[in-house]
Amino acid sequence: MTITLLGSYNGVELIRHELKRFGLMGFNSSPTSAPFEGIVLVKGSLRVAYDSEVEIVGPGAVVTMHPVKGDVCIIAMQDAEFIYISSAPIFDSYRRGVERFHQMATEIAQKDGYTASHCERIRKYSVLIGCELGLSARELLSLSCGALFHDIGKTQIPDEILRKPGRLTPEEFDIMKMHTIYGRDMMSSPSNPFLHIGSTVAEQHHERYDGSGYPYGLKGEEIYLPAAIVAVVDSYDAMTSKRPYQRPKSKQEAIDEIRALRGKLYDPRVVDAFLKVVSTLDDL
Ligand SMILES: [Fe+2]
C-alpha cells in the first residue's frame, strides 16, 4: 500500500491510496475516529465491507461514512487507486503505523528464514478465502492481520530450535508450540495496539478440526474461523515451499492432501472455499 497526503486544511485531509490486488485497509470506530470519512475510487475495484454489509464498487464510486460506527474493511479486488477524505488529521500516525506494520512483518519473516513476500502471500491467499466465505468486516481485518503476523511468537523461540535442520525432540517441540501463546500475548500487548485484532489467529492457527492441534486441542467450530483459514493456507504453503529438511510437494500433490484431510485436520468450509479459489492463487 502506498499513501500520499495530497492536501490538508483545517484538520481535513485528502490522502491518496494505491492498493495492489488483495491489498487491504481497514478501520474501526473509536472515540478518536474521524467524524466523517469518504472514499472516491479513481481506478480499479474495491470490496467494501461495513460490519456485515458488502458492496463491490468501481471507478467513480463515492463511499461515505459519517460517523464511522462499525468496522470497515476495504479490499482491492484489482489494483486500485482512491482518494480518502478524513475530517480529522490522521495521516502522520497512519503512515507511521503502516511503516511499522511492514517493518515488523519483514523482521518476523527473516527470523523464520522466510521472506516478507512469503508472509504477504499467506495474507493474500487467506483474504481471498475469507471473501469467498463472506466473512464480516471485523473477521476480515482479524484474518488479514493475523495471517501476516501468525508466527510473530517465533521471535521468542531460540534459534537452535527454530532453525534446527532435523526433527525436533518432544521437549523441543513443546517449546516450539509455545509460539502460539507468545504470539497471542505479543499481539494483544498495549505496545502493539494495531496488532490486537489478529491475536486470536496467532493463538489458534495450529488448532486442527479433529482436536489434534495445539495449544488447546480445540475442535470443529470451536476454532475461530479466520484461524482455521490460516491453518489451511499455512499448511499449503509449507507443503509447497522448499525447506532444508523436505522436498517440496507439487501444487497438485498439496491440493490433493488438503482435500484428503477435509473434515479431519481442516474445517470443511475452509477446504471447500480453498478448492474453489486455489486456481487463482498462482496469479497473486
Ligand atoms: Fe505457526
| Gap between the Cα atoms of 67 and 61, Å rounded | 19
What is the whole-number distance in angstroms between the Cα of residue 86 and the centre of ligand 1? 37
All cell numbers assigned to 276: 474453489
What is the whole-number distance in angstroms between the Cα of residue 271 and the centre of ligand 1? 19
What is the whole-number distance in angstroms between the Cα of residue 137 and the centre of ligand 1? 24
What is the whole-number distance in angstroms between the Cα of residue 142 and the centre of ligand 1? 16
Q: Measure Cα distances from 30 to 5, 33, 67, 265 in Å.
A: 23, 5, 10, 38
List residues, by chain if needed, whose CB lies under 5 Å from ion ligand 1. Answer: 151
What is the whole-number distance in angstroms between the Cα of residue 202 and the centre of ligand 1? 8
What is the whole-number distance in angstroms between the Cα of residue 151 and the centre of ligand 1? 5
What is the whole-number distance in angstroms between the Cα of residue 206 and the centre of ligand 1? 6
CA angle, 254 then 118 then 195, to 5°: 115
What is the whole-number distance in angstroms between the Cα of residue 263 and the centre of ligand 1? 20
Q: What is the pLDDT along the chain (284 residues), one digit of tens a residue?
A: 889 999 999 889 999 999 999 999 887 666 566 667 889 999 999 999 887 788 999 999 998 887 667 788 999 999 999 999 988 888 888 888 888 888 888 888 777 777 667 788 899 999 999 999 999 999 999 999 999 999 999 989 998 998 888 889 999 999 999 999 999 999 998 887 778 999 999 999 999 999 999 999 999 999 999 999 999 999 999 898 877 667 889 999 999 999 999 999 999 999 999 999 998 876 65
What is the whole-number distance in angstroms between the Cα of residue 149 and the centre of ligand 1? 10
What is the whole-number distance in angstroms between the Cα of residue 150 and the centre of ligand 1? 6
Q: Are 195 and 186 in contact (CB under 8 A)?
A: yes
What is the whole-number distance in angstroms between the Cα of residue 238 and the centre of ligand 1? 10
What is the whole-number distance in angstroms between the Cα of residue 179 and the centre of ligand 1? 7
What is the whole-number distance in angstroms between the Cα of residue 180 and the centre of ligand 1? 7
**Please, what are the domains in the chain?**
2-89 (2.60.120.10), 96-281 (1.10.3210.10)
What is the whole-number distance in angstroms between the Cα of residue 230 and the centre of ligand 1? 9
